[in-house]
Each structure stands twice: as structure tokens, then as C-alpha cells.
Amino acid sequence: MFSACMRDCYDTCSIISEFKNGRLTVRGNPEHPITRGFLCPKGALLPKWFHSKDRLKKPLILEGKKGSGEFREASWKEALNIIAENINSIIREHGSYSVLVYKYAGDRGVVSYYFPMRLFHYLNASTIDGAICDRAGQEALKDIYGTAVGIDPEKLRENRLIVYWGINAFWTNLHGFMLAKKYGLEIWTVDVVRTETAKRSDKFFQIRPDTDVLFALGVAKVIIEDGLYDKKFVRNKVYRFKEFMNYVKTLSLDYVAQETGLSVEKIEEFAREFAEKKGIIHIGYGFQRSLAGGEAVRAIAILPALVGHKFGFIYDMKTIDKSYAQAKFLRTKPENRIPQMELAEAIEDGKVKFLYIYNTNPLASYPNQNRLRRAIKKSDVFIVTHDIFLTDTALYSDVVLPANTFFERLDIVDSYYHRYVLLNEPVAKGPGKSNSEVTRLIAKALVIKNRYLYESDEAVIKRVLADNGISWEELKKRGFVKIPERPRKWNTPSGKIEFYSQRAVRRGLTPFPQYKKYSGNYPLRLLSPTHRMTITSQYHNTHGMIDPYLYMNPKDAYERGLKDGDKVKVFNEVGDIVTTVKLTEDVPQGVVLLYKAFWPSILGWNVNFLTTDKKVEKYGKGSAFHSTWVEVTRYSEPGEG
């Protein structure tokens, strides 16, 4: 049977699944052009996840305080009636906008992700304006190109060089990394940390946090002043190049070197070889989750165009129309979108009285956990969570509904890396119900008779495929189909690549990206990238392969009297945690690293008890997780000393 990994991951692997003698087995689909032949370590462990004894089997009703874990089992009928009663009473008393549906990409299946939205659009509920992941970069790329959709990775075979800028691709885009190797590309990495990708690259350029924008502008300066740019392309396809040329002329390479930590020679080496080899840049999501992130992506995005690429970056590949699946046309009131980074604030202000959560675990993945948890405990918000496991979010819910896995339902999924739609067929049966099935049951409990709320998964899938010119029969036969590529243009005000961004100016930004120094109230910059064996909070409870250590440069440790293996307290104005320090030269001075979003209910804490909930205001209110500063001291047990 054809399966597809629905995780929030670039690769979106096509899988061949079998269910024999009560056990699930999986292997990579050998025919898929991108994910051919193997699964990542997380994907190989999917049967362990599917068969976990901890899967929820019955609905749960909260008996104690939120977070207490005091639940009783209930029938589906009772749970659905409680949900329906609360939706009706809250809408009557507070209006439909007080109901909020909060979803994210824990399961990216088209039906799984979008179908529940039909109910909440019908109810005229509030929705989340998702900005926790890649928003700042999306806005920045639209400023330059009018789109965040970059090059088809299969076209890498026509190129010589790929630069992984702020992405640990060997962990988070393994098939893409191996594709670049297969095509024989030279691989460079630009990052703050010497990651596993950096260690496997032909060149590594280690820069200081927030200096991406300055490094990119310095590279642009060298390319332009040495006459290495594609003059014909720039003359015909770039908007107001001369102004940009004059802008970078004012930049001192000595200053760039001083700020980035790279020598002038390294900056010139990058620029000259990048221009010669006409590099493609895979722009990561991590570094744009910072106060400097939008400006950084805007600067980086200019470099491929300088050397003649129409779309010489990799960032996004959301290329199919899925609007029918969520049926926004069911609304009879304007959509009220609450910025994702203002969830705690919306609860504190009493704007949200009913919260329906699926495909996400915000009480592990959301920044400033102390604030969010306080807001929930102090409010009267009624929370329903639909999940496979009793997550931290489920522990703070009034009703918990058991979900099924993608091995138990029909769906399709696209990728934000490659241009293929994948088929996912039901392979096995287990406890729990799908997102679409639960939506239909809630609609029935609410006595709603609208036909769009009861449409079958297959009917929705066929309509979405038809809207995108994709054959259902071909998809069933092969398990994947390449999305037809239409002629592309730059959707900017000028119709060109805008080095001078009119869109940015309209948002109150400068026409060219600017470098700005940021600092916090504490001396150490805290980075919180993803761990190899998790996808945000997923798999911590099943795979058990986590890394709770604080990584620190030996010089920073020496200044604080710390040794490798010491127990330490990490703290700032947001909160504090206790863990063990590991010393490594991979992390530069002034920076510490904790991997993100493990389950607090298992570990006792996670990095989001420290991360800031500040927003990148002019870049769509994107998240700024990595603009967090902390201090670290030796931890003493209570009563010691």
C-alpha cells in the first residue's frame, strides 16, 4: 500500500507500507524521484510510533484542574455532546469569534489539515494567522520576488553549487542533501553553529547571530564591484539595481568582517566562487525566527538573482490550490484571524472562550510557556484537543478526543520542498478517529445539515486534484504525481525582481535590507534548533531519543567556573530550567544551544520555558524564538551551601 509521511518536514517521503500478522512495516518507495530508496531515522521508526501502547483509546473528560492529569474516560457520544453544548452556549453568550480553531502542521494531509476548518468556517469562528514557523522569510521573499516558491530541487542537476544557509539539512532535509550529493553539487554551509551539515560540507562559513544580512550585503558588494554579476539579466530583470549598487558601495568590508567574525578574504572567497559557480541557496527556516530574520532573508535572496537565476533559492514549494478542502465559502461573517504569536494575549484578554486544537501541541512548541500556561489556568477558556497521545496540550484540555494516524485513513499530501503530490492509503486499523471523521461527528451533534460538512474524504481529494489538473487514476497507480508547472513570473509591483522593494517600503521598511544589532538583558544568545529524532514535539514520547543538554563553548564555561557535565541553571526574565552542560567548540562564544520542544510532561521542562514571545512585527508578526538571551550558573540543590 502507498503511504506518505505527513510530518512537517521538507522531504515528505513516499512510503510502501504493509500490515501483516498485526504488525506494520514500512520502507521508502523505490520509485519516488526525491525520496527514493530509504527513510530517515524518524521514518524508519514509524511502526514503533503506530504501535505505541500510549495511544489514546477513548475520549477523556477533565475532572480536576487543567494540567492535573485528572481525567475520566467517556463515550464518544458524551464527549461530543459536551463539546456541542459548550460551542452553542459560548456562541450565544460571547459570539462566534470567541470560538478559536488552532491548528498547525503536525499532520500535513490535505483532508486532515483542512477539513475541520469547514466546521469552524460554517460557525464563523476565529482562525489562527499562522506565523510561528516561516512567516518572516515568506514576507521577505515576497518583497523581492513576489513569491516564496523557489526552484524545483530536481533542477539542481543543472547547477554546480548549493549553499545551505541557516539549515542543518543533513538532519532536516536528508533526502535533499543526498540529492545534491547525487547530482555532484559542491556543498557550502553558512551557519552560527558547526552543525552536522557544516561538517559534511566542502566549505563552512561560521558567522555570528544576526549578521546574515551584513554577510549577504558584503558578498553582494564584492560581486558587483568586481563586475561578476550577470549584467544582461540584472539590466532586464532587476528593479532599480543602480540604487542598490550605490547602497552596497557605502558598506565597508572591514566592518562586515568585524561584525560577522569572518575575514575579508573569506567574504571575498565566498563572493567570487559563488558568482563563478552561480550558486543556488537553500534558505533555512531557523534563523528567520529572530528579530533580524526578515531583513536577513531579504538580503540573502538578492544573491542568486545577481548571478542570473530567476528563482535561485529553495524555501517553499506550496504550489497546489487546496481551498476547496477548507471551504471558506461557508462563512457568512468576515474571517477574524488571530495572530498565532498572540494566542496567550488573546486568552488573557478574554477574546477566546472556546479553543479547538488539532495537529499541534502548543503547550510544548509555543514560546514563553509560563505565560501561556498561566493564561489558560486563570481563564475560563474551554479547550478541546484531538490528538493521538496525551500531550502537554491534552493535559490542559477539558475534553480530549483520540485521533488516528495517517496509516489508518485516505489522504493526499504535497511537499514544501519538491513538486510531487503523494497518495496515502489506509493500511491498518487502530484506536481513534480522523480529523474529518470527528468534524462530521461534531457537526452532527450540533444538528447542522450542511452537505459540505459530511462530504467524504475521497470526494474532497478528487475535487482538489481536479482543481490542480492532477489525475486521480494516475495517483492511485503510482502513489505520486508531479504537479504540473505553469509559466512563472515575479508577482511584484514592477513585475521584476525588486532589489529596491516597493512592497517593503509600503510596510514601513527601508527599500534595501538593513543590518541592526540586537541585544538582550542577559549575556548569552540562546538558540533552539530541532533535534534529529524529533519534529518539534513529535516522537519524544515514542522514540525516546532526546538530547536535553545545554551546549556551550568552553571559554564561556571557563568564565563561569563550569566544567563539562555540571548541572546548571539557565534563566532569564521569562523563566528558568535546570539541565546538564556539555562543552563544545561547535558552538561559538556568546551562544548556547538547547534543542527544542521536548515534552515538559516527560522531561519536566523544555526550552520554551525560556524563549521569547516577541514578534517580527513588520514581517507578518513572525516568531522570534532565536532572539532569546539567557545566563547560565552552576546549579545547587536546595539546602546546599
What's the pLDDT score for residue 187?
Answer: 98
Collect all residues with Cβ–Cβ distance below 8 Å to 193 and sequence separation of at least 6. Answer: 206, 527, 529, 586, 587, 588, 591, 593
CB 527, CB 552: distance < 8 Å: no
Instruction: Kindly give, in sequence order, each residue whose CB lies less than 8 Å from that of residue 477, ignoring residues fewer than 6 positions away.
Output: none
Closest CA to 255 of 291, 214, 296, 219: 214
Give the confidence band of 544 by pLDDT, cuts at 50, 70, 90. Answer: confident
Q: What is the pLDDT of residue 637?
A: 80
Model confidence pTM above 0.95: yes
Average pLDDT over residues 100-110: 96
524-634 CATH fold: Barwin-like endoglucanases (2.40.40)
Q: Read off the pLDDT of each residue in 208-235 and give the average, rounded to a whole number.
A: 98
CATH architecture of the domain with range 150-315: 3-Layer(aba) Sandwich (3.40)
> Does residue 192 or residue 636 have the better pLDDT?
192
Q: Read off the pLDDT of each residue in 112-141 and give the average, rounded to a whole number.
A: 98
Residue 641: pLDDT band by 50, 70, 90 thresholds? low
- C-alpha–C-alpha distance, residues 6 and 407, integer Å: 10
Q: What is the mean pLDDT of the chain?
A: 97
- State how far the alpha carbon of 321 is from the alpha carbons of 122, 140, 151, 413, in Å: 20, 22, 18, 12
**Assigned CATH class of 2-131+319-482:** alpha beta
* pLDDT tens-place string over residues 482-534: 998 889 999 999 999 999 999 999 999 999 999 999 999 999 999 999 999 99
Share of the chain above pLDDT 90, in %: 97
Contacts 24+ apart (CB under 8 A), 475-478: 475/412, 475/421, 475/423, 476/423, 478/31
What is the per-residue pLDDT for 319? 83
CA distance 497 to 440: 45
Percent of the chain with pLDDT over 70: 100
pLDDT, average across residues 555-577:
98
**Does residue 442 carry a pLDDT above 70?**
yes
How do the domains of the chain map onto residue ranges?
Answer: 2-131+319-482, 150-315, 524-634
Res 183: pLDDT = 97
454-472 pLDDT per residue, tens:
999 999 999 999 999 999 9
Is the per-residue pLDDT at 558 higher than 70? yes
pLDDT at 640 over 70: no
| Long-range contacts of 349-353, Cβ-Cβ distance < 8 Å, separation of 24 or more | 350/379, 351/97, 351/98, 351/126, 352/98, 352/99, 352/100, 352/126, 352/379, 352/381, 353/90, 353/93, 353/94, 353/98, 353/99, 353/380, 353/381, 353/382
What angle do the packed helices 212-225 and 264-277 form, to 10 degrees? 70
Beta strand 354-358 pairing with 99-103: parallel
Q: What's residue 535's pLDDT? A: 93
pLDDT value for 639? 67
pLDDT for the residue numbered 318: 82
- pLDDT surpasses 90 at 638: no
Strands 14-20 and 2-4: antiparallel
